[in-house]
Structure 1
Amino acid sequence: MRQFPLEMHGMAPGRVVEWRLRSTAGPEPAAETEGRRASFNQDKHFTVAEESRGADDPVASWLAVTFEVSEDLDEEAMTRALLAFVRRHEVLRCEFRRLAGELACEPIPPAELALAVHPVASFDSAPELVGFLSERFQRSIDTLAWPLFTMGAVLRPGSATVYLAFDHIVCDGLSMPIVVQEVQDAYEALRRGEQPDEQPAPSYLDFAEEQRRRYLSFGAGDARLGYWKDFIARGGGEFFPRFPLELGVEPGLMYPIVNEASPLLDAAETEVFDKACREAGGKAFMGVLAAVAVCLRDAGGPGVYRGFMPVSERGRSGWSQSVGWFVNTMPIEFDASPGRGFAEVVAGVRAGFGAMMDHIDVPFVRAWELLAPAEFAARSWPYPVNFFSYIDMRKCPGAERHADWRPASHVWSARANGVCSWFQRDAEGLHMNSIYVDTPAARHTMAAFQEALRRTVTEIARHGSFGRPIGLAAPRGPVGAALGVSGYGYAARG
């Protein structure tokens, strides 16, 4: 399972159907009760949506997952499987509304939900189908309106592609494999004449409640913010670590995006790379981050790597099978100065990661609000930010069936003012997906950076070292040629 633009999917055309969710309780005035409280992540996300809508400058994005059914789809069984999935996860049943200034969650009781399948359209070509789905996701997912996701399938004789697309307010990247496993397990159980699991999963709303209880009342002087304050001080007083390469953006402006993905290593190369990282005293993600830091440095960036890294909070208290936004974004810093070998930089990554994890409990949104209130009031990060994400999809729920289900995840955003890169490892190797501003400078920078990174991780796999400095010289030929060095490349305009 890997993450790449929906336009790269190569989805075969067919007949599109959608499952539409509704409450059977009927229209009733919203009760003025306290209800449940949204998480810090959800509150900030919803606030940005409210403010951008009020300014007639809507912020739009979605996360989606697709997977395959290798038979004629049993629409009744899939309907029941999807309904069981939605009923299990309280956050998917939530309506969000402002109440006394705070964001409240009102879950719809599971028994009051109904789901029905509806025909939508038929397509004879893959590009028309994917274009339709992309537009459909954009139009049907609204942070300010329930339901906060859409479900459907592309039906063909002997096969089907099932899709679910979500607003970020109800899920994160690690929710996607959970979605696939639960829906497929329920569907296969129903096809065998068995009942799917409808027991409630541990609720993200409980996680949010615990987090708010611990951190809503603490202030800027709290000792638990010491790690953040030290990081900010070492960065010259800036809360956000800057992306160090030229992207050609103007302050305060947002741009259309490029959304692209490419392979870095195949399966065999990734195994050798993993071994080299372990011999250096680290893990594969540490080796990838070390390579990223050295490539940025060789392109003119600083010798000390400073960036943001999202970290899952699922494992702490039993939410490993729950859908929700269980992500904390934390700063990480380590030395990647010239002259330091691979093992030395990996040791720095390991130490930096350990220090970061010692302070993982402090929610990013609260640190942002307390330590950078001016930037917190804005609707976006103030400038291009250095951001690194890594997921080993082989360790996700249901990974043992991924060869059968062929799942993929997809992200999209209407606009950006910087760059975000996600790295995934799966059974087929190591892959990279980036969303960045669509400017000539950014296209040049990112194409050359990806080529340099691919060469660097290959050098690590072969020799356990960075090799000679590569730098980000002008790529050979057009940008597309640099992206296609290892087999394929794609750039999708947002």
Structure 2
Amino acid sequence: MEYTHLSEFRIRDGELSLWTPALSSPDAWYDDERPLASVHAQYLGFLDPDDPRPGRGRWIGTVFEMDAPLDQRAWARTLELWHDRHEGFRTTVAPTRDGDYHRVTTAPGTVRVTAAVVPDLVDGELINEFLCETLELRLSPLTWPHLLVATVAHDTDDFTVLVGADHSVLDAYSQAVLILELRTLYCAVTTGGEIRDSATFGSPADYAAIERAAAEELTPDSPAVAVWREFLGAPGSPMPRFAAGQVAELAGEHAQPSLSRTLLTLEELEEVEDVLDRIKHRLSVTVFAALATASREVFGDDRFRTVMPIATRPDLTWLESMGWFVNVVPVDITLPPGADMSAALDATRAALKRAHVCNDASWGRSLAMVGAMEGPTFGASFLDIRMLPDYELVADLRGRTLRAVSYSTEEVYFWVVRGPDGLYVSTRYPAGLPDPVMDRFLTEFARAMYAVTTIAAPAAAAASTETASAALSAG
């Protein structure tokens, strides 16, 4: 599933409707004593309450084509049931007297969803532009609803669905699984089928209470804090940068370039995976080893540091939840001098194992304890999309996960995906980074990945030599 901008998705012509949640009563909100997750609280601390475009650079979402005609009443009911099921969509924040925020929540059955047709707008390209603008203006971390749904009804027996949300109520896993969940719900509503309940739709607020309790137990002597301290270096040191020193300062504000590229075709990837099976290494380790190797080839540094987002759904209770279940861990790889991919894999596996101690430790609290002056600016993640249920059907529905356009002058992120047709990468980077630098990096990244296929060659050659020697001796 490609991770891209909405502007890069072709929306077909049709009738556009916006579906907005609203409370059946303004008194439905109640104060909720459960805390915000650490990442949520930290996120709110960087916001400007007066920002006229609160969704700019922040919203995430999903777009797909529902393989059924649009029934307005049934779709509204589907979205209401969806809000009933997921408490994360029925919770928001309110300011406290000390300038902080606390949680407020509304009960199931209190959310109604209404549609508003956008008149005189049927051209797909113009609809796309309108939606990009609308999501920036209407999605806010501070104002409920934090989620907006749009549909485009076509003159065929299907319709396009866009779900846009503030990051505080949606994460990357939620973005991927919501497609089939909405499809299943809509099918049940239109056919009178059973609406499935499950113990796996756990509340993000319940998770937040667990996460905050664990965060409070961190101390400067905690093993996770020690790993972050080694990653950062001296207190106050800057966070690792991608292509440090090669990003030009540009006047004014510029959207970050975004690109997606196939790293390995399916045939090439299967060659790599065949070797990995024999040498007992995982594809996820290989991705980060190849990133480190490419960094050495392009930037000349044997030490590669980045952060890796990880899912923090602690058990099956939250398997199907909608929410923000993400932590960040440091990846710190030092390649031995002259290391080939075999040595790079060993070094990377050790580095990722070392980072495991940070999995359940709040990254924000850990960084505060080591004296960090800023948050991460360089990140990379890997996902094998085949782990998602019915991933092939998602592709048939033209499913895409979306991110907002970023205007950062420093941030660089890589999303690497193992899909059904190969290995591909999406990235965004500062406008001041020359395109040829990123092009060369991605070329070296792909080359390092495929270099895995040569690892088994020396062993095979040695075995062949031994066989030949034995034959000569026997002769």
TM range (shorter): 0.7 to 0.9
Does structure 1 residue 273 correspond to structure 2 residue 272? yes
For 1:236 and 1:218, how far apart are their aligned partners in 2? 18
For 1:166 and 1:363, how far apart are their aligned partners in 2? 23
For 2:332 and 2:252, how far apart are their aligned partners in 1? 28
For 1:238 and 1:310, how far apart are their aligned partners in 2? 21
Q: What is the CA-CA distance between 1:193 and the residue it aligns to?
A: 1.9
Greater shift in the superposed pair: 204-213 or 271-280: 271-280
For 1:303 and 1:312, how far apart are their aligned partners in 2? 28
Quick one: structure 1 residues 91 and 337, their matched pair in 2 at CA, closer, same or farther if it must change by over 3 Å? Answer: same
Q: What is the CA-CA distance between 1:125 and the residue it aligns to?
A: 3.9
Quick one: structure 1 residues 52 and 140, their matched pair in 2 at CA, closer, same or farther if it must change by over 3 Å? Answer: closer
What SS class does the counterpart of residue 151 from structure 1 fall into? strand
Aligned to 1:207: 207
Q: What is the CA-CA distance between 1:81 and the residue it aligns to?
A: 1.9
CA contact (8 A) 1:175 1:323 kept: yes
Quick one: structure 1 residues 121 and 356, their matched pair in 2 at CA, closer, same or farther if it must change by over 3 Å? Answer: farther
CA contact (8 A) 1:64 1:176 kept: yes
Q: How does 1:214-225 map to 2 (within 5 A)?
A: 214-216=214-216, 218-222=218-222, 224-225=224-225
Q: What is the CA-CA distance between 1:183 and the residue it aligns to?
A: 0.6
Q: What is the CA-CA distance between 1:122 and the residue it aligns to?
A: 5.2
Aligned to 2:178: 179
Q: What is the CA-CA distance between 1:310 and the residue it aligns to?
A: 0.8
Quick one: structure 1 residues 170 and 278, their matched pair in 2 at CA, closer, same or farther if it must change by over 3 Å? Answer: same
Q: What is the CA-CA distance between 1:266 and the residue it aligns to?
A: 2.8
Q: How does 1:335-350 map to 2 (within 5 A)?
A: 335-350=334-349
Does structure 1 residue 163 correspond to structure 2 residue 162? yes
Query: Residue 406 of structure 1 aligns to which amino acid in structure 2?
Result: R
Q: How does 1:373-388 map to 2 (within 5 A)?
A: 374-375=373-374, 385-388=377-380
CA contact (8 A) 1:2 1:393 kept: no
Q: How does 1:474-489 map to 2 (within 5 A)?
A: none
Does structure 1 residue 130 correspond to structure 2 residue 128? yes
Unaligned runs of 5+ in 1: 467-494
Aligned to 1:442: 434
Quick one: structure 1 residues 309 and 182, their matched pair in 2 at CA, closer, same or farther if it must change by over 3 Å? Answer: same
Q: What is the CA-CA distance between 1:197 and the residue it aligns to?
A: 2.9
What SS class does the counterpart of residue 358 from structure 2 fall into? coil
What SS class does the counterpart of residue 429 from structure 2 fall into? strand
Aligned to 1:87: 84
Q: What is the CA-CA distance between 1:278 and the residue it aligns to?
A: 3.0
Aligned to 2:10: 10
What SS class does the counterpart of residue 111 from structure 1 fall into? coil
Q: What is the CA-CA distance between 1:152 and the residue it aligns to?
A: 1.2
Instruction: Choose which of 73, 95, 109 in structure 2 pairs with 1:76.
Output: 73
What SS class does the counterpart of residue 183 from structure 2 fall into? helix
Quick one: structure 1 residues 53 and 6, their matched pair in 2 at CA, closer, same or farther if it must change by over 3 Å? Answer: closer
Query: Residue 131 of structure 2 aligns to which amino acid in structure 1?
Result: L
Does structure 1 residue 410 correspond to structure 2 residue 402? yes
Q: What is the CA-CA distance between 1:286 and the residue it aligns to?
A: 1.5
What SS class does the counterpart of residue 225 from structure 1 fall into? helix
Unaligned runs of 5+ in 2: 458-475
Does structure 1 residue 66 correspond to structure 2 residue 63? yes
Q: What is the CA-CA distance between 1:255 and the residue it aligns to?
A: 4.6
Q: What is the CA-CA distance between 1:362 and the residue it aligns to?
A: 0.9
TM-score normalized with structure 2 length: 0.87
Q: What is the CA-CA distance between 1:317 and the residue it aligns to?
A: 5.5
Larger CA Rg, structure 1 vs 2: 2
Aligned to 1:112: 110
Quick one: structure 1 residues 267 and 148, their matched pair in 2 at CA, closer, same or farther if it must change by over 3 Å? Answer: same
Quick one: structure 1 residues 237 and 139, their matched pair in 2 at CA, closer, same or farther if it must change by over 3 Å? Answer: closer
Q: What is the CA-CA distance between 1:338 and the residue it aligns to?
A: 4.7
CA contact (8 A) 1:67 1:180 kept: yes
CA contact (8 A) 1:94 1:108 kept: yes
- Cα deviations across residues 351-374 of structure 1 (Å, max 9, x unaligned)? 111111133111111112222354
Number of residue equivalences: 453
Query: Residue 329 of structure 1 aligns to which amino acid in structure 2?
Result: V
Between the aligned residues of both structures, percent identity stands at 21
Does structure 1 residue 391 correspond to structure 2 residue 366? no
CA contact (8 A) 2:237 2:372 kept: no
Quick one: structure 1 residues 256 and 296, their matched pair in 2 at CA, closer, same or farther if it must change by over 3 Å? Answer: same
